[in-house]
Structure 1
């Protein structure tokens, strides 16, 4: 049985128990969200001892070398002394809520104003921390390219009973502050090959990063095909239809296909019916984890290189 030491306090880890689980069980305040090794909110640094290699694998080599690891998927193999990361590692800024707009019955657009330089790519995700004593954190994708004004656009689904989503969509006042950490993720538009065909498939608010990627690509004069398939259970969830339709009308290389599963038209099925051969395509998959996993496999089997498939499964739905 291993010991996990955090801020001078040592705790026994149960067999097979992740570092995060141990610390939370003992009442330690460790940021976390998805608990699946995706959002990286639970990043810790090993000061003494070696974290499991599997808990470092999703991180950049530079972070691995400094002992950083994802505590939610780290089952200690020996005693560990850990600490919260320096915020400089993942980036941090304070932002204010500029505006909030309802895009659909459950979906809101939040425009934030960063108070200092906060470089990012549209399609990456950031972690939001509210200015309450609980320091609750949740991760959201960035839905628009950077602006000269330093604004950041998020799309948030307001989930009944959701601590963070309810606060963001109903309680946070315009002008109020919140903390942002990041950005993270490698699902964004890549310059250098403007003729490359791009296939984008998303469900729900998985549209947010894809809309940002499309805007960025068009801003940078991408001339290759842009095929966007957005799926929702019901038509109410197909937000931004007017905006995306207008973009498609003015950019002949953009095709936008809204899909609803209640009518039997799933976004991934529609995409692969339209594009049966994905050889040479760069593929972006965002939203429901099951869809992302299935579509990733289908895209690969139809010819796309794994290195050209970018995934952003929404393991934590922003509650």
Structure 2
């Protein structure tokens, strides 16, 4: 019999459930989101016992060394004593500097943390509405260029956190945020390599940060950013991206829309998906470094298509945006 110890209580663990599922069955709810090991909302720390295999994939080396793991991927084979990551001081307060509308569905939330946040452009953090209610959002800011943290938050129907941000958060308010997480970011080296970035909706947020970070670090190879939406109204940051393309000859911004029309023509947008546009332009993806962010179906299809087109799986960095509970 395997025992799971949490907050001074012992619970019987039965395989093949995860730690998250086991605690929920005993009436213990902990913060969680995608339940697929992507959003990292269910981060916990092992106090005693052996961290289950595979439960630390995608975590920072520093977190791995301290025994942090993902409860939605942890299936212990021996007794385990665990604690919430928040109990270990990963949270901090941040002041709201701006809540700016980017389009009809997405706002830019700018935050000033009480202490400097160690992060890379393209990572994400957890934003708390309350102690047991949080969501993860990607960072569009760049630590060397911006004096704030910027999140692009799309309103989700009946979303308890996104609606709160859109309707209630105001400049001057205080919120709580978690540590930065994720492996979808630019690393220097191979400055002549082609960078290929595909995003949909608010999936532009991490890509916008990655592009600016790569350019700031002197990346010389071609950088192609494809951002897609159903209509032109779903796109945003067009002016800033066009300005970057004019400033850096190696950067190419390609807006994509599913529906053609005068607005798409005026923007010189491609009609079709971001994947269709990228395949048409590149065809072969050998030696490309790839970043995929946004709708999970797009990320899944693009990862396969680009891999079959010659890209190394190690060079494909993906961040699917999964709604809470999926």
- The two structures have a TM-score, normalised by structure 1, of 0.90
- 1:57-96 matches, cutoff 5 A: 57-60=57-60, 63-64=63-64, 66-85=66-85, 91-96=90-95
Look up the match of 2:209. Answer: 212
Kept in 1: contact 2:55–2:70 (CA 8 A): yes
Residue of structure 1 aligned with 2:285, choices 278, 290, 293: 278
- 1:104-183 matches, cutoff 5 A: 104-130=103-129, 132=130, 134-146=131-143, 150-183=147-180
Deviation larger for 77-86 or 294-303: 77-86
Look up the match of 1:300. Answer: 307
Deviation larger for 230-239 or 121-130: 230-239
Task: Mark the runs of 5 or more structure 1 residues left unpaired by the alignment.
Answer: none
3-state SS, counterpart of residue 269 of structure 1: helix
Alpha carbons of structure 1 residues 5 and 287: separation in structure 2 relative to 1, 3 Å = same
Kept in 1: contact 2:99–2:110 (CA 8 A): yes
- 1:254-269 matches, cutoff 5 A: 254-262=251-259, 265-269=272-276
* 2:317 maps to 1:310: yes
Task: Mark the runs of 5 or more structure 2 residues left unpaired by the alignment.
Answer: 261-270
Kept in 1: contact 2:99–2:169 (CA 8 A): no
- The two structures have a TM-score, normalised by structure 2, of 0.88
Alpha carbons of structure 1 residues 60 and 183: separation in structure 2 relative to 1, 3 Å = closer
Q: CA RMSD in A?
A: 2.4
Deviation larger for 64-73 or 163-172: 64-73
Alpha carbons of structure 1 residues 214 and 62: separation in structure 2 relative to 1, 3 Å = closer
Shift of 1:68: 2.8
Task: Map Cα deviations across residues 97-130 of structure 1 (whole Å, 9 max, x no partner).
Answer: 1011111100001111111111211111111112
Task: Count how many residue pairs are aligned between Structure 1 and Structure 2.
Answer: 316
3-state SS, counterpart of residue 20 of structure 1: helix
Kept in 1: contact 2:59–2:182 (CA 8 A): no
Kept in 2: contact 1:157–1:318 (CA 8 A): no
3-state SS, counterpart of residue 47 of structure 1: strand
Alpha carbons of structure 1 residues 253 and 87: separation in structure 2 relative to 1, 3 Å = farther
Shift of 1:43: 1.6
Shift of 1:36: 0.9
CA distance in 2: counterparts of 1:167 and 1:123, whole angstroms: 23
